[in-house]
Structures are given as C-alpha cells and as structure tokens.
Amino acid sequence: MPYVITDACVDVKDQSCVRECPVDCIYEGDRQMYIHPDECIDCGACEPVCPENAIYYEGDLPDELTIAADRQRAVMLPLGMLKGARKHGPLNTDHPDIAALPPREKSD
C-alpha cells in the first residue's frame, strides 16, 4: 500500500514531501500533490515533513479520507509509470473532485 495525499494539500502544495521523497514519485497537480501508487516504495519519508498533515499511509487512512486513495489512483494510474516527477513536470490536471472544490483561504 502506498502513501496518499489528502485534500488537506489543496491550494497549499508546500512540496516539503517532494524534497524528501527518495524515488521522486510525488507529482504536482494544479491544486494538490499526488503520489504515484505504483512508484511509491512505502518508505514514509514524506509523511512527517508535511506541514498540513495531509499524507497518510493508505492502510491508516481514516474512513472519511479513503476517497483520497481512490482519487490518487484515478489521476495517476492511467498515466502509467512516469519514472520521476522532476523529469515529467507538472501534471496540468487534478481529479475532478479536487478541481471542483472552492478555493482554500490563504492564511497569513
């Protein structure tokens, strides 16, 4: 089971997780980051550095957040193995549920 980025990341995209990921499997969507489930090695390096506490091990997702794993798979799996977020660049998309969310208020 891979790690999952939940909608707590929407409109934040701090990218601390990206800097910690040893396999470069965290991709940038338009409004949130996504972990490629087939590229993630389940190391957990991303989870403790997320300032929004948006990252969970899929097996530990609270019931109300399990939809995040489905969204992540729906965005990433059709793209196949991308072999690195830095090489691939931004996804230029989001899951439709994420795209439809109202803008998150910026905190000062």
Task: Identify whether the C-beta of residue 2 lies closer than 8 Å to the C-beta of residue 40.
Answer: yes
Per-residue pLDDT tens digits for 49-68: 999 999 999 999 999 999 99
Overall pTM surpassing 0.85 (yes/no): yes
Average pLDDT value for residue range 19-45: 97
| CATH code, domain carrying 19 | 3.30.70.20
Q: How many domains does the chain have?
A: 1
Confidence of residue 105 (pLDDT cuts 50, 70, 90): confident
Tell me which residue range forms the domain holding 51. 3-84
Whether the per-residue pLDDT at 108 is higher than 80: the answer is no
User: Does any domain span residue 29?
Assistant: yes
- Which sign does the torsion angle of CA 36, 39, 44, 45 carry? negative
